[in-house]
Amino acid sequence: MSSAGISTPRASTAIHPLLWRGSQLARNSRPGLDTGHAGLSRQLPDGGWPLGSLTELLLPRPGIGEIRLLLPALRRLPVQRSIVLLHPPQQPSIQAWQAQGIPSRQLLWIAPAQAADALWAAEQILKQGHCAALLYWPSRPPATALRRLHLAAQAGDTAFFAFRHAEAAHAASPAPLRLLLHPAGDQLRVDILKRRGPVHDTSLLVPLAPPRATAAADPMPAFSESSHAPVDQRLPDAPQPRRTEPVLAG
């Protein structure tokens, strides 16, 4: 029998880089940002946090370890490019971020008074593409707004994370990667709700590295209890405190 009429299936990625088989994790030409957690990286398309794409982290409340989850990746980013903290739940604690290896000159804190202004700022940051990472805490964003942000992110290589309440887990979202986080002692329980690849129906337990030791024993959260100011500002160099407290709450 002649084989002339028989076609051999081509690899999905050979047809187009955005195509993948449902039984396999998607792989792009651009590798992901290493998460610093080997077990988690193995389960993510591109082997790490996506670049130029919206990633949603859903959690029951702020401060469960979500910042410590990201710290190994954030420390890998070039210091010449900013890490933007947009509309965080509280004012960032510069001493805590510096204690974890993120220099103050790399951090840019933006605290708009209105949610609409925060959405606008996020879109402009992503379109410009100058920042290494954008950490954004949106206030009940509509799906249309998230879609605009995801499209804006695709124009560059910014690591883009949106922190949302766990209640949003059942809502539609354009984010290609969605993770549900729950505290589990010194670990985070991570459920992969959505990824470009097969369904992952078991939870991952991701150990959180202890905060880097400093001279003090008392914890200091990544965000202070005071409300943030309605202005955008680069975090100043921290004064030399009498006591430096290392632990990130989130």
Domain count within the chain: 1
Question: What pLDDT, in 10s, does the model give residues 74-84?
Answer: 999 999 999 99
Give the pLDDT confidence score for residue 219 in this predicted structure: 42
What order do you get walking across the sheet with 177-184 strand by strand? 204-207, 187-194, 177-184, 53-59, 159-165, 133-136, 83-86, 107-110, 232-234
The Cα 68–Cα 188 span in angstroms is 10
Residue 225 lies in a domain: no
Question: What pLDDT, in 10s, does the model give residues 168-220?
Answer: 999 999 999 999 999 999 999 999 999 988 888 899 999 998 766 543 333 44
Question: What pLDDT, in 10s, does the model give residues 97-133?
Answer: 999 999 999 999 999 999 999 999 999 999 999 999 9
* 53 confidence band (pLDDT: 50, 70, 90): very high
Residue 242 lies in a domain: no
Residue 64's nearest CA partner among 198, 190, 167 is 190
The answer to whether residues 164 and 56 touch, using CB atoms and an 8 Å cutoff, is yes
Residue 248 lies in a domain: no
Residue 245 lies in a domain: no
* Mean of all residue pLDDT scores within the chain: 82
Domain of 125, CATH number, reads: 3.40.50.300
Domain that holds residue 98: 48-207
Residue 114 lies in a domain: yes
Residue 116 lies in a domain: yes
Residue 122's nearest CA partner among 156, 90, 169, 99 is 156
